[in-house]
Protein backbone atom coordinates (compact mmCIF):
# COMPACT_ATOMS: atom_id res chain seq x y z
CA UNK A 1 0.00 0.00 0.00
CA UNK A 2 1.23 3.51 -0.74
CA UNK A 3 0.25 6.95 0.49
CA UNK A 4 -1.38 9.45 -1.86
CA UNK A 5 1.01 11.97 -3.37
CA UNK A 6 0.78 15.19 -1.33
CA UNK A 7 0.57 18.60 -3.00
CA UNK A 8 3.86 20.31 -3.73
CA UNK A 9 4.94 22.93 -1.19
CA UNK A 10 3.77 26.26 -2.55
CA UNK A 11 3.19 29.65 -0.90
CA UNK A 12 -0.28 30.76 0.07
CA UNK A 13 -1.48 34.03 -1.43
CA UNK A 14 -0.76 36.88 1.00
CA UNK A 15 -3.56 38.97 2.46
CA UNK A 16 -1.86 41.22 5.01
CA UNK A 17 1.37 39.26 5.26
CA UNK A 18 4.63 41.10 4.85
CA UNK A 19 6.82 43.70 6.55
CA UNK A 20 4.83 46.43 8.29
CA UNK A 21 6.68 49.36 6.72
CA UNK A 22 4.52 51.90 8.58
CA UNK A 23 4.90 50.37 12.01
CA UNK A 24 4.87 53.18 14.55
CA UNK A 25 7.27 51.49 16.97
CA UNK A 26 9.87 50.76 14.29
CA UNK A 27 9.68 54.35 13.05
CA UNK A 28 9.88 55.74 16.58
CA UNK A 29 12.95 53.67 17.45
CA UNK A 30 14.72 54.64 14.21
CA UNK A 31 13.99 58.31 14.84
CA UNK A 32 15.18 58.09 18.44
CA UNK A 33 18.47 56.57 17.34
CA UNK A 34 19.09 59.22 14.72
CA UNK A 35 18.24 62.02 17.15
CA UNK A 36 20.56 60.62 19.81
CA UNK A 37 23.36 60.28 17.29
CA UNK A 38 22.81 63.81 15.97
CA UNK A 39 23.23 65.18 19.51
CA UNK A 40 26.79 63.85 19.78
CA UNK A 41 28.99 66.86 19.04
CA UNK A 42 32.78 67.07 18.81
CA UNK A 43 32.83 68.44 22.37
CA UNK A 44 31.55 65.12 23.75
CA UNK A 45 34.65 62.96 24.06
CA UNK A 46 35.55 59.63 25.61
CA UNK A 47 36.33 61.45 28.86
CA UNK A 48 32.88 63.08 29.16
CA UNK A 49 30.75 60.61 27.22
CA UNK A 50 27.00 60.89 27.45
CA UNK A 51 25.29 57.96 29.17
CA UNK A 52 21.96 57.18 27.50
CA UNK A 53 20.28 54.51 29.62
CA UNK A 54 17.56 52.22 28.28
CA UNK A 55 17.31 54.31 25.12
CA UNK A 56 14.18 52.63 23.73
CA UNK A 57 12.49 51.91 27.10
CA UNK A 58 12.55 48.20 26.28
CA UNK A 59 15.89 46.92 27.72
CA UNK A 60 16.54 48.40 31.16
CA UNK A 61 19.99 46.80 31.65
CA UNK A 62 21.45 48.44 28.55
CA UNK A 63 22.81 51.87 27.69
CA UNK A 64 24.66 53.77 25.01
CA UNK A 65 27.94 55.57 25.59
CA UNK A 66 27.71 58.54 23.27
CA UNK A 67 30.88 60.38 22.25
CA UNK A 68 32.80 61.75 19.29
CA UNK A 69 35.75 59.64 18.12
CA UNK A 70 38.42 61.79 16.45
CA UNK A 71 40.66 59.04 15.11
CA UNK A 72 40.59 56.14 12.67
CA UNK A 73 38.28 53.20 13.19
CA UNK A 74 39.27 50.76 15.92
CA UNK A 75 37.85 48.22 18.34
CA UNK A 76 37.18 49.24 21.94
CA UNK A 77 37.07 46.85 24.91
CA UNK A 78 34.28 47.30 27.44
CA UNK A 79 33.94 45.70 30.87
CA UNK A 80 30.76 45.89 32.95
CA UNK A 81 30.86 45.24 36.70
CA UNK A 82 29.59 46.73 39.94
CA UNK A 83 31.27 49.20 42.29
CA UNK A 84 31.20 46.75 45.20
CA UNK A 85 32.92 44.05 43.16
CA UNK A 86 30.34 41.45 44.16
CA UNK A 87 29.30 40.39 40.68
CA UNK A 88 30.91 38.77 37.64
CA UNK A 89 32.48 41.31 35.28
CA UNK A 90 31.45 40.90 31.65
CA UNK A 91 33.84 41.95 28.89
CA UNK A 92 33.09 42.46 25.21
CA UNK A 93 34.28 44.59 22.29
CA UNK A 94 32.58 47.21 20.16
CA UNK A 95 33.66 49.00 16.97
CA UNK A 96 34.41 52.73 16.96
CA UNK A 97 34.11 54.73 13.75
CA UNK A 98 35.37 58.25 13.04
CA UNK A 99 32.81 60.84 14.19
CA UNK A 100 29.76 60.46 16.41
CA UNK A 101 29.30 57.07 18.09
CA UNK A 102 26.59 55.43 20.16
CA UNK A 103 28.47 52.52 21.71
CA UNK A 104 26.13 49.72 22.87
CA UNK A 105 26.65 48.48 26.43
CA UNK A 106 24.66 45.59 27.88
CA UNK A 107 25.03 43.27 30.85
CA UNK A 108 24.37 45.85 33.57
CA UNK A 109 23.56 44.55 37.04
CA UNK A 110 20.15 45.49 38.46
CA UNK A 111 19.78 47.63 41.56
CA UNK A 112 23.43 48.60 42.09
CA UNK A 113 26.07 51.12 41.05
CA UNK A 114 27.52 49.76 37.82
CA UNK A 115 31.03 50.56 36.66
CA UNK A 116 31.60 50.56 32.90
CA UNK A 117 35.24 50.54 31.80
CA UNK A 118 36.03 51.61 28.25
CA UNK A 119 39.50 50.90 26.85
CA UNK A 120 40.67 52.52 23.61
CA UNK A 121 44.03 53.44 22.13
CA UNK A 122 43.61 56.92 23.64
CA UNK A 123 42.68 56.09 27.24
CA UNK A 124 40.93 53.87 29.74
CA UNK A 125 37.85 55.60 31.12
CA UNK A 126 35.36 54.53 33.78
CA UNK A 127 31.73 55.57 34.06
CA UNK A 128 29.23 54.88 36.82
CA UNK A 129 25.53 54.26 36.41
CA UNK A 130 22.95 53.12 38.98
CA UNK A 131 20.29 50.76 37.68
CA UNK A 132 16.80 50.25 39.02
CA UNK A 133 15.38 47.10 40.57
CA UNK A 134 13.94 44.23 38.58
CA UNK A 135 10.21 44.26 37.75
CA UNK A 136 7.65 42.86 40.22
CA UNK A 137 7.04 39.11 40.42
CA UNK A 138 3.76 37.24 40.70
CA UNK A 139 4.40 37.10 44.45
CA UNK A 140 4.10 40.89 44.70
CA UNK A 141 0.35 40.80 44.09
CA UNK A 142 -2.48 38.56 45.36
CA UNK A 143 -3.47 37.99 41.74
CA UNK A 144 -0.04 38.42 40.14
CA UNK A 145 0.34 36.64 36.82
CA UNK A 146 2.83 36.69 33.94
CA UNK A 147 5.24 38.94 35.79
CA UNK A 148 8.99 38.61 36.33
CA UNK A 149 10.26 35.23 37.60
CA UNK A 150 11.83 34.57 40.99
CA UNK A 151 15.33 33.23 40.33
CA UNK A 152 17.51 31.25 42.76
CA UNK A 153 20.93 29.64 42.49
CA UNK A 154 20.61 26.05 43.75
CA UNK A 155 24.01 24.65 42.87
CA UNK A 156 26.86 27.13 42.31
CA UNK A 157 29.56 26.19 39.87
CA UNK A 158 32.71 24.83 41.48
CA UNK A 159 34.95 25.63 38.51
CA UNK A 160 33.68 28.32 36.11
CA UNK A 161 36.22 27.13 33.51
CA UNK A 162 34.19 23.92 33.14
CA UNK A 163 31.20 25.89 31.83
CA UNK A 164 30.57 26.85 28.24
CA UNK A 165 31.08 30.57 27.59
CA UNK A 166 28.19 33.01 27.52
CA UNK A 167 25.06 33.91 29.41
CA UNK A 168 21.95 31.77 29.85
CA UNK A 169 19.18 33.23 27.68
CA UNK A 170 15.63 32.07 28.19
CA UNK A 171 12.14 33.29 27.42
CA UNK A 172 9.01 32.63 29.45
CA UNK A 173 5.60 32.52 27.80
CA UNK A 174 4.02 36.00 27.68
CA UNK A 175 6.43 37.19 30.39
CA UNK A 176 10.00 38.30 29.65
CA UNK A 177 13.04 37.51 27.55
CA UNK A 178 16.05 37.51 29.87
CA UNK A 179 19.63 36.40 30.41
CA UNK A 180 21.45 35.44 33.62
CA UNK A 181 25.10 34.83 34.44
CA UNK A 182 26.46 31.78 36.29
CA UNK A 183 25.66 33.43 39.64
CA UNK A 184 21.99 33.56 38.55
CA UNK A 185 22.12 37.37 38.36
CA UNK A 186 19.95 38.91 35.66
CA UNK A 187 22.16 40.76 33.16
CA UNK A 188 19.64 41.53 30.41
CA UNK A 189 15.92 41.51 29.85
CA UNK A 190 13.35 43.08 27.59
CA UNK A 191 10.17 44.68 28.85
CA UNK A 192 6.76 43.33 27.98
CA UNK A 193 6.61 45.63 24.97
CA UNK A 194 8.70 42.92 23.27
CA UNK A 195 7.15 39.46 22.65
CA UNK A 196 8.50 36.58 24.73
CA UNK A 197 7.99 32.98 23.70
CA UNK A 198 9.88 31.50 20.74
CA UNK A 199 12.89 33.84 20.59
CA UNK A 200 15.51 32.98 17.97
CA UNK A 201 18.82 34.76 17.46
CA UNK A 202 19.79 35.70 13.92
CA UNK A 203 23.32 35.65 12.47
CA UNK A 204 23.68 39.43 12.84
CA UNK A 205 22.97 39.22 16.58
CA UNK A 206 19.38 40.45 16.34
CA UNK A 207 16.50 38.42 17.76
CA UNK A 208 13.14 37.49 16.31
CA UNK A 209 10.10 36.45 18.33
CA UNK A 210 6.34 36.28 18.42
CA UNK A 211 3.95 35.52 21.25
CA UNK A 212 0.34 34.68 21.96
CA UNK A 213 -0.36 38.13 23.39
CA UNK A 214 0.96 39.82 20.23
CA UNK A 215 -1.94 39.35 17.84
CA UNK A 216 -2.23 35.63 18.64
CA UNK A 217 1.16 34.73 17.11
CA UNK A 218 0.41 36.74 13.94
CA UNK A 219 3.08 39.37 14.57
CA UNK A 220 6.85 38.88 14.67
CA UNK A 221 9.31 41.40 16.09
CA UNK A 222 12.93 41.68 15.04
CA UNK A 223 14.87 43.49 17.79
CA UNK A 224 18.44 43.87 19.01
CA UNK A 225 20.12 43.48 22.40
CA UNK A 226 19.46 47.17 23.13
CA UNK A 227 15.73 46.64 22.74
CA UNK A 228 15.48 48.54 19.46
CA UNK A 229 12.75 47.09 17.23
CA UNK A 230 14.03 46.98 13.64
CA UNK A 231 11.25 45.17 11.81
CA UNK A 232 7.70 44.05 12.50
CA UNK A 233 6.25 41.27 10.34
CA UNK A 234 2.52 40.86 9.89
CA UNK A 235 1.31 37.31 9.28
CA UNK A 236 -1.84 35.85 7.81
CA UNK A 237 -1.59 32.69 9.91
CA UNK A 238 -0.20 31.87 13.33
CA UNK A 239 3.47 31.01 13.82
CA UNK A 240 2.59 29.09 16.92
CA UNK A 241 5.81 27.36 17.97
CA UNK A 242 9.43 27.05 16.94
CA UNK A 243 11.44 29.30 14.68
CA UNK A 244 14.55 28.10 12.85
CA UNK A 245 16.69 29.57 10.11
CA UNK A 246 18.07 28.04 6.94
CA UNK A 247 21.53 29.01 5.63
CA UNK A 248 19.78 30.87 2.80
CA UNK A 249 18.06 33.13 5.33
CA UNK A 250 14.60 31.59 5.12
CA UNK A 251 12.69 31.35 8.37
CA UNK A 252 11.15 27.93 9.03
CA UNK A 253 8.21 27.83 11.44
CA UNK A 254 5.19 25.84 12.48
CA UNK A 255 2.03 27.28 10.94
CA UNK A 256 -1.56 26.42 10.05
CA UNK A 257 -4.67 27.79 8.41
CA UNK A 258 -5.76 30.01 11.28
CA UNK A 259 -9.26 30.35 9.85
CA UNK A 260 -10.89 27.66 7.77
CA UNK A 261 -8.82 25.42 5.55
CA UNK A 262 -9.38 25.62 1.76
CA UNK A 263 -11.73 22.63 2.01
CA UNK A 264 -13.86 24.38 4.65
CA UNK A 265 -12.65 22.31 7.60
CA UNK A 266 -10.75 23.56 10.62
CA UNK A 267 -7.57 22.25 12.24
CA UNK A 268 -4.59 23.86 13.91
CA UNK A 269 -0.81 23.57 14.20
CA UNK A 270 -0.48 21.09 11.35
CA UNK A 271 1.67 22.86 8.77
CA UNK A 272 5.08 24.41 8.20
CA UNK A 273 5.81 27.73 6.56
CA UNK A 274 8.96 29.12 4.97
CA UNK A 275 9.26 32.92 5.07
CA UNK A 276 11.67 35.25 3.30
CA UNK A 277 12.74 37.67 6.05
CA UNK A 278 13.78 40.24 3.44
CA UNK A 279 10.14 40.66 2.41
CA UNK A 280 8.06 38.88 5.03
CA UNK A 281 6.34 36.82 2.34
CA UNK A 282 5.77 33.09 2.50
CA UNK A 283 7.85 31.13 0.00
CA UNK A 284 6.43 27.65 0.69
CA UNK A 285 3.77 25.97 2.82
CA UNK A 286 3.81 22.27 3.76
CA UNK A 287 0.33 21.03 4.64
CA UNK A 288 0.79 17.95 6.81
CA UNK A 289 -2.90 17.04 6.51
CA UNK A 290 -1.83 15.37 3.27
CA UNK A 291 1.21 13.68 4.81
CA UNK A 292 0.48 12.25 8.26
CA UNK A 293 -2.21 9.89 9.59
CA UNK A 294 -5.22 12.07 10.44
CA UNK A 295 -7.09 9.13 11.96
CA UNK A 296 -4.48 8.06 14.49
CA UNK A 297 -5.45 8.74 18.12
CA UNK A 298 -3.57 11.57 19.81
CA UNK A 299 -1.34 10.96 22.84
CA UNK A 300 -1.03 13.48 24.53
CA UNK A 301 -4.05 15.46 23.41
CA UNK A 302 -5.52 18.95 23.41
CA UNK A 303 -8.06 19.49 26.17
CA UNK A 304 -10.25 21.47 23.74
CA UNK A 305 -11.39 18.99 21.10
CA UNK A 306 -12.94 21.75 18.98
CA UNK A 307 -9.45 22.93 18.00
CA UNK A 308 -8.84 19.71 16.06
CA UNK A 309 -5.21 19.86 17.23
CA UNK A 310 -4.40 16.39 15.95
CA UNK A 311 -0.71 16.90 15.06
CA UNK A 312 0.62 19.88 17.08
CA UNK A 313 3.91 20.62 15.31
CA UNK A 314 6.10 22.24 17.97
CA UNK A 315 9.47 22.19 16.18
CA UNK A 316 10.62 22.08 12.57
CA UNK A 317 13.89 22.57 10.76
CA UNK A 318 15.58 21.64 7.48
CA UNK A 319 18.23 18.94 7.39
CA UNK A 320 20.23 20.39 4.52
CA UNK A 321 22.45 17.30 4.07
CA UNK A 322 19.51 15.10 3.10
CA UNK A 323 17.13 17.86 1.97
CA UNK A 324 14.51 16.89 4.53
CA UNK A 325 12.02 18.95 6.50
CA UNK A 326 12.10 17.47 10.01
CA UNK A 327 9.09 18.05 12.28
CA UNK A 328 8.23 17.20 15.87
CA UNK A 329 4.57 16.28 16.40
CA UNK A 330 3.71 16.43 20.09
CA UNK A 331 0.22 14.97 19.78
CA UNK A 332 1.40 12.00 17.75
CA UNK A 333 4.51 11.59 19.96
CA UNK A 334 6.46 11.34 16.72
CA UNK A 335 9.27 13.04 14.84
CA UNK A 336 8.87 12.77 11.09
CA UNK A 337 10.70 13.85 7.97
CA UNK A 338 9.38 14.83 4.56
CA UNK A 339 11.17 15.40 1.29
CA UNK A 340 11.89 19.10 0.95
CA UNK A 341 11.02 19.25 -2.74
CA UNK A 342 7.92 17.03 -2.86
CA UNK A 343 6.43 16.97 0.69
CA UNK A 344 6.41 13.18 0.54
CA UNK A 345 6.87 11.34 3.81
CA UNK A 346 10.31 9.79 4.38
CA UNK A 347 10.32 8.51 7.98
CA UNK A 348 8.45 8.44 11.29
CA UNK A 349 10.29 8.09 14.60
CA UNK A 350 7.99 7.09 17.42
CA UNK A 351 6.05 4.18 18.84
CA UNK A 352 4.54 1.81 16.26
CA UNK A 353 1.06 1.52 17.68
CA UNK A 354 -2.22 2.66 16.07
CA UNK A 355 -0.85 3.70 12.67
CA UNK A 356 -2.85 2.73 9.60
CA UNK A 357 -1.23 0.10 7.36
CA UNK A 358 -0.18 2.72 4.80
CA UNK A 359 2.37 4.11 7.27
CA UNK A 360 4.06 0.86 8.27
CA UNK A 361 6.96 1.23 5.82
CA UNK A 362 7.88 4.65 7.22
CA UNK A 363 8.18 3.57 10.87
CA UNK A 364 11.81 3.35 11.97
CA UNK A 365 13.04 0.15 13.60
CA UNK A 366 14.34 0.88 17.12
CA UNK A 367 17.99 -0.11 17.66
CA UNK A 368 20.66 0.17 20.30
CA UNK A 369 23.66 2.50 20.02
CA UNK A 370 25.33 0.02 17.64
CA UNK A 371 22.33 0.02 15.28
CA UNK A 372 21.34 -3.52 16.31
CA UNK A 373 17.54 -3.97 16.44
CA UNK A 374 16.16 -4.25 19.94
CA UNK A 375 14.14 -7.27 20.98
CA UNK A 376 12.22 -5.44 23.67
CA UNK A 377 8.46 -5.73 24.00
CA UNK A 378 6.24 -2.86 22.88
CA UNK A 379 5.65 -1.93 26.53
CA UNK A 380 9.39 -1.78 27.23
CA UNK A 381 10.00 0.36 24.17
CA UNK A 382 7.22 2.71 25.17
CA UNK A 383 8.46 3.16 28.70
CA UNK A 384 12.22 3.22 28.14
CA UNK A 385 12.95 4.12 24.52
CA UNK A 386 10.43 6.12 22.53
CA UNK A 387 9.76 9.84 22.58
CA UNK A 388 6.47 10.99 24.10
CA UNK A 389 5.07 14.52 23.78
CA UNK A 390 8.56 15.70 22.86
CA UNK A 391 9.80 19.26 22.26
CA UNK A 392 12.91 20.97 20.93
CA UNK A 393 13.88 18.48 18.21
CA UNK A 394 17.19 20.01 17.17
CA UNK A 395 19.74 18.86 14.63
CA UNK A 396 23.08 17.52 15.82
CA UNK A 397 25.72 18.02 13.15
CA UNK A 398 26.19 14.96 10.91
CA UNK A 399 27.34 15.61 7.35
CA UNK A 400 27.06 11.97 6.22
CA UNK A 401 24.41 11.61 3.55
CA UNK A 402 21.75 9.08 4.52
CA UNK A 403 22.04 9.81 8.25
CA UNK A 404 20.73 12.45 10.57
CA UNK A 405 21.22 13.02 14.30
CA UNK A 406 18.48 14.57 16.42
CA UNK A 407 18.58 15.83 19.98
CA UNK A 408 15.21 15.84 21.77
CA UNK A 409 13.73 17.21 24.93
CA UNK A 410 11.70 14.07 25.61
CA UNK A 411 8.86 15.21 27.88
CA UNK A 412 7.71 11.64 28.50
CA UNK A 413 3.93 12.17 28.71
CA UNK A 414 2.19 8.90 29.53
CA UNK A 415 4.94 6.65 28.05
CA UNK A 416 2.17 4.32 26.93
CA UNK A 417 -0.97 4.36 24.81
CA UNK A 418 -2.74 2.43 27.57
CA UNK A 419 -3.83 4.37 30.67
CA UNK A 420 -3.31 1.30 32.84
CA UNK A 421 0.36 1.14 31.81
CA UNK A 422 1.06 4.88 31.78
CA UNK A 423 3.48 6.60 34.15
CA UNK A 424 1.87 9.13 36.50
CA UNK A 425 3.36 12.60 36.55
CA UNK A 426 4.38 12.21 40.21
CA UNK A 427 6.67 9.33 39.18
CA UNK A 428 7.75 10.58 35.76
CA UNK A 429 10.82 12.36 34.43
CA UNK A 430 11.70 14.21 31.27
CA UNK A 431 14.88 13.26 29.42
CA UNK A 432 17.42 14.50 26.91
CA UNK A 433 17.78 12.00 24.08
CA UNK A 434 20.19 11.79 21.15
CA UNK A 435 18.95 9.67 18.25
CA UNK A 436 20.65 8.73 14.98
CA UNK A 437 18.50 7.84 11.99
CA UNK A 438 19.74 5.64 9.14
CA UNK A 439 17.51 6.60 6.23
CA UNK A 440 18.59 3.68 4.06
CA UNK A 441 18.14 0.96 6.67
CA UNK A 442 15.05 2.71 8.13
CA UNK A 443 16.44 2.35 11.65
CA UNK A 444 16.88 4.67 14.62
CA UNK A 445 19.54 4.26 17.30
CA UNK A 446 19.44 5.94 20.69
CA UNK A 447 23.04 7.06 21.14
CA UNK A 448 22.57 8.59 24.57
CA UNK A 449 20.00 9.51 27.15
CA UNK A 450 20.33 11.86 30.10
CA UNK A 451 17.41 11.48 32.49
CA UNK A 452 16.22 14.33 34.63
CA UNK A 453 14.60 13.74 37.99
CA UNK A 454 11.03 14.30 39.10
CA UNK A 455 11.81 17.97 39.84
CA UNK A 456 12.18 18.45 36.11
CA UNK A 457 9.17 16.53 34.83
CA UNK A 458 7.57 18.82 32.25
CA UNK A 459 4.19 17.86 30.87
CA UNK A 460 4.69 20.59 28.26
CA UNK A 461 7.44 22.82 26.87
CA UNK A 462 11.13 22.41 27.72
CA UNK A 463 14.34 23.03 25.80
CA UNK A 464 18.04 22.27 25.71
CA UNK A 465 21.10 23.28 23.74
CA UNK A 466 24.34 21.37 23.17
CA UNK A 467 27.41 23.56 23.71
CA UNK A 468 30.67 23.57 21.74
CA UNK A 469 32.54 22.07 24.72
CA UNK A 470 30.06 19.15 24.95
CA UNK A 471 28.06 20.52 27.87
CA UNK A 472 24.28 20.75 27.61
CA UNK A 473 22.15 23.61 28.88
CA UNK A 474 18.64 22.40 29.72
CA UNK A 475 15.54 24.22 30.92
CA UNK A 476 12.74 21.99 32.22
CA UNK A 477 10.24 24.50 30.95
CA UNK A 478 6.96 22.93 32.05
CA UNK A 479 7.85 21.67 35.53
CA UNK A 480 4.83 22.46 37.70
CA UNK A 481 4.12 21.41 41.30
CA UNK A 482 1.29 21.46 43.81
CA UNK A 483 1.51 22.57 47.43
CA UNK A 484 2.60 19.05 48.40
CA UNK A 485 5.64 19.24 46.14
CA UNK A 486 4.17 16.75 43.67
CA UNK A 487 4.74 17.08 39.93
CA UNK A 488 1.43 17.83 38.23
CA UNK A 489 0.33 18.04 34.61
CA UNK A 490 -1.06 20.94 32.58
CA UNK A 491 -4.25 19.16 31.42
CA UNK A 492 -5.21 16.15 33.58
CA UNK A 493 -6.57 13.36 31.44
CA UNK A 494 -5.13 14.90 28.26
CA UNK A 495 -1.44 15.53 28.95
CA UNK A 496 -1.13 12.77 31.58
CA UNK A 497 -3.40 10.36 33.38
CA UNK A 498 -5.38 11.80 36.27
CA UNK A 499 -3.91 11.35 39.73
CA UNK A 500 -6.44 11.73 42.55
CA UNK A 501 -3.82 12.77 45.11
CA UNK A 502 -2.91 16.13 43.54
CA UNK A 503 -3.30 19.23 45.68
CA UNK A 504 -5.27 22.37 44.95
CA UNK A 505 -2.54 24.70 43.66
CA UNK A 506 -0.01 24.84 40.85
CA UNK A 507 3.25 26.75 40.59
CA UNK A 508 5.75 26.70 37.75
CA UNK A 509 9.11 25.80 39.30
CA UNK A 510 11.47 25.41 36.35
CA UNK A 511 15.01 24.05 36.76
CA UNK A 512 17.72 25.39 34.46
CA UNK A 513 20.95 23.41 34.47
CA UNK A 514 24.24 23.21 32.70
CA UNK A 515 25.33 19.61 32.67
CA UNK A 516 28.34 17.77 31.32
CA UNK A 517 28.02 15.48 28.32
CA UNK A 518 27.80 12.54 30.72
CA UNK A 519 24.95 14.11 32.69
CA UNK A 520 26.77 15.58 35.72
CA UNK A 521 24.99 18.70 36.93
CA UNK A 522 27.58 21.49 36.97
CA UNK A 523 25.25 24.41 37.70
CA UNK A 524 21.61 24.50 38.79
CA UNK A 525 19.22 27.46 38.86
CA UNK A 526 15.47 27.58 39.50
CA UNK A 527 12.96 29.95 37.94
CA UNK A 528 9.57 30.11 39.62
CA UNK A 529 6.51 32.32 39.36
CA UNK A 530 6.50 33.12 43.08
CA UNK A 531 2.76 32.68 43.59
CA UNK A 532 0.99 29.31 43.43
CA UNK A 533 -2.16 29.51 41.32
CA UNK A 534 -5.53 27.94 42.07
CA UNK A 535 -8.83 27.27 40.37
CA UNK A 536 -10.67 29.61 42.74
CA UNK A 537 -8.39 32.62 42.15
CA UNK A 538 -7.01 32.05 38.66
CA UNK A 539 -9.62 30.05 36.76
CA UNK A 540 -9.53 26.86 34.74
CA UNK A 541 -6.08 27.45 33.22
CA UNK A 542 -4.33 27.79 36.58
CA UNK A 543 -1.97 24.88 35.89
CA UNK A 544 -0.42 26.88 33.03
CA UNK A 545 1.40 29.05 35.52
CA UNK A 546 4.84 29.65 34.01
CA UNK A 547 6.50 27.89 31.09
CA UNK A 548 9.71 28.20 29.07
CA UNK A 549 9.95 27.17 25.44
CA UNK A 550 13.56 28.16 24.66
CA UNK A 551 17.00 28.22 26.27
CA UNK A 552 20.37 29.21 24.81
CA UNK A 553 23.86 30.00 26.01
CA UNK A 554 25.42 32.81 24.03
CA UNK A 555 27.26 36.11 24.33
CA UNK A 556 25.60 39.49 24.68
CA UNK A 557 27.08 40.69 21.39
CA UNK A 558 28.07 38.89 18.22
pLDDT-derived band at 2 (thresholds 50, 70, 90) equals confident
Handedness of CA 407, 409, 415, 419 (dihedral sign): negative
Phi, psi (5° rounding) for residue 169? Answer: -100, 130
H-type helices in 335-477, by residue range?
378-384
8 A C-beta contact, residue 530 and residue 151:
no
Q: How far apart are the C-alpha atoms of 433 and 463, rounded to whole Å?
A: 12
Average pLDDT (20-34) is 98
Q: Give tens-digit pLDDT for 301-343.
A: 999 999 999 999 999 999 999 999 999 999 999 999 999 999 9
What is the average pLDDT score of the chain?
97
Average pLDDT (456-462) is 97
Contacts of 297 (CB under 8 A, 6+ apart): 354, 417
H-type helices in 360-510, by residue range?
378-384
Q: Give tens-digit pLDDT for 155-208.
A: 999 999 999 999 999 999 999 999 999 999 999 999 999 999 999 999 999 999
CB atoms within 10 A of CB 16: 9
8 A C-beta contact, residue 162 and residue 515:
no
pLDDT of residue 453: 84
pLDDT-derived band at 11 (thresholds 50, 70, 90) equals very high
> What domains can you pick out in the chain, each with its CATH number?
18-131 (2.60.40.10), 150-554 (2.120.10)
| Cβ-based burial of 61 (10 A; exposed 0-12, middle 13-18, buried ≥19) | buried
- 221 pLDDT exceeds 70? yes
Average pLDDT (39-45) is 98
Share of residues in the chain with pLDDT > 90 (%): 99
Average pLDDT (399-425) is 98
- 1 pLDDT exceeds 80? no
CB atoms within 10 A of CB 43: 8
pLDDT of residue 299: 98
Cα–Cα distances in Å, from 382 out to 312, 351, 361, 376?
20, 7, 19, 10
Amino acid sequence: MTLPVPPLPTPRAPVVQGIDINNALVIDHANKYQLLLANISQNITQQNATIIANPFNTAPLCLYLGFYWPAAAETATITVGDKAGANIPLTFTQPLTPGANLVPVAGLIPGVINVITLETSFATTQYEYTTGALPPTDADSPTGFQKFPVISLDKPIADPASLAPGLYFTTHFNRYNLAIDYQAVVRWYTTQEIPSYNMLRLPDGHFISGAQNFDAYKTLYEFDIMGRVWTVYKLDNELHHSLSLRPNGQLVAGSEYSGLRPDGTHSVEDGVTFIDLATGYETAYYDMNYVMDRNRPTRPSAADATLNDWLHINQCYVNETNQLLVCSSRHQSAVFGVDLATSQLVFIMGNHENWSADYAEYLLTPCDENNIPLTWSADELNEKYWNWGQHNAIEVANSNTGFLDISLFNNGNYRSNDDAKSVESINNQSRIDHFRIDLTAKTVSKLSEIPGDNKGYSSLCGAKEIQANGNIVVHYGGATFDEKGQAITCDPGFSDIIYEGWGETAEGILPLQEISGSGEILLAVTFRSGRPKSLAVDGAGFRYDMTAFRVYKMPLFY
